[in-house]
A and B are shown apart, each in its own frame.
Chain A
Amino acid sequence: MIKFWKSAAKGKTGCPVRPPELKSTSTPDIKSLINTQLLLEENEDPKHMFDKNSKLTLSLCDILNEKKAIKYFVQYMESIGKEVLIKCWLEIEDFKIQTQYQDSSNENGNYSKINRTKSLDLHCKCVSKKDYKDVNTQRFSWQDNSELFTSTSNTRHKNECSMSSCRNLSEHLTSNSSNTSKENVKTGNYTEEAIKIFKKYVALEAPFQLDLPDSNRKSVISNICQPEGKITEDCFQPVQDILFSQIEKNYFNDFVNSPFYIKAQIDILTSGSLNLKDILHNETILFYFTEFLEQESCRVLLEFLMGVMHFRDNLLNNSSSQDPAQAQADAIAIYEKYFSLQATHPIGFPTDIRLTIESDICREEGPLPTCFDMPYRIVFKTLALYVKTFLESELYFKYLSEMIHSVENIWSTSHHKSHSDCSSEFSISTQNTLLAMGDPVFRKKKRNLSVPDMTIDSNQLYNADALWQRNRSDGLSLGRVNSLGRFESKFEPDPDKKGKSVLKKMVSRFVPTSTSKVEEEMAWQIAHMIVKDVTDLTMAPPDNEHEDM
């Protein structure tokens, strides 16, 4: 191997610009694209190419802290009846913003009015993460500087600075020389606000209980009841932490699988165009994009990007535990696949790039994580060109239409769920006949049964065997015969299986909402008896094995 590297390095002196010897017959377009791209990539910031975030993949942080797609999340939480959590979160956020905004507005008042427009932006509550941080840093720097201010003559606002209300911002800015008297009033509002939130969510007897541990409640109390009467904007931080972890643990995954999340994604898809990064880091659309690239015969570029990404991440993240020999083996694997003269999947990089990479890999201390950055950038830009075509392709439209379809589809199934739940208001009023039961929502679940199956196939009348070949009408089967010939009743559902048995759901559809649990239980028992009679007659067992039916 060493020998090979040496011989490769020798060629360095008189390297030609183009690699005439590369066998790039399978990928001619790529080669030409790559060469043109080379000229463009001088003054580019390569950092963003390695970012791992896709607009399409929303994390809980994106939603809660940056307020992306928050309306869908609120809708989702409302749909499962857990809106308290998110509402409390939002109220605390509002409270925080008011406080911070307050501080920064005072700062602006003290120094100059230059930042006024910025503060006014904050007023709209559409604070992006960046602004949010800015406010924080401003606040801190102001605190440091306030010491200085005390010693100088300008002490007007020293004590009141953190206490004015944001609603009075404009007044405050215009008349900041004479508002000392107002400050006390504002302080009152401010504390009131905190107490309101406390009473609503945190207190022991609060109308909206959040399932907070006692220690948490206590620390909030001590945060609010500061002896100096000052309340900091993060006095509810313990509550927010709990909320965050509760939401993350219990609800976020279900949200991601809900139609609300897909709707949020559709919003993103329709509001602006995607870039390569958005596609690379969202598996769903990547599935379509990969197929698109295959049709364009340049899937190898995607493979290359992913390979380099893995290589780089691995070296950067585990730099301490990294074995240089292993890193070199990884680098060589990539080299031999895409760069070498005998490469199995040549991409067609010019010789100078190949030589640079050879020498980068053959360092004594092992290859640098960044040794493929240059070709990565070139390929990244090349693929970015394909994104434009992709966004106009049939595959992309298929993706979009499947997104939309999924929203509709999940919705119809989830409605069906709520129908079968005994708490549903619809269960008796709209669906009280057997016929209705077989209808829309039910059938939708089964794609293939789009036509109502009310007709009788005359074949079935004469062919007894066909009876058993019939399509199973959803939910109406009582059980099945397993491969051992044993009847498995759906009445006694598998204890491992979550949720009610199919039959139980079915029965509850016929029970009016108003009836109590007891009555429902009764109805169910009667249905059980009837069904048992039927099964006893029809499924007469050969031995006593089926007694437990």
Chain B
Amino acid sequence: MSSWPWLQSGRIGDPQTPSLGSLAVSDFLRSYLTVAIFGAVALLLAGGILSLGRLIRPSHGNAEKLLTYESGVDPTGDMWSQSNIRYYVFALLFVMFDVEAVFLFPWATRLEAYGVFGLVEMGIFILILLLGLVYAWRKGMLRWV
């Protein structure tokens, strides 16, 4: 597979080789330049459609039309109202597990090189995090009421 140099150099069972191997750094950076260009193209496309529409769409705004929609009646009170604290708790739980996932990926790519040692190590790591989930579960944090 000459097209994918890092696949060859990062061969499983050879933990010494860095996974980027013989891939030139400029190629590596260039692929991220392509990513940045794609992001810019997305913004240009959205901006292009918006300004194309400006040429042909009407613009007759009045106070009633620009009122906030609230099922046909006049909006009341503060629009940025209070909301459920649950969302905050779930966001905290999410951070915990997302960090776990970050640690799982490098281990998953090189599992064959680490063998049984890596398996046991990661088993302990997942178990500790699982305890966190069980704790949150027991405390009733996963209940949405």
A, B co-complexed: no
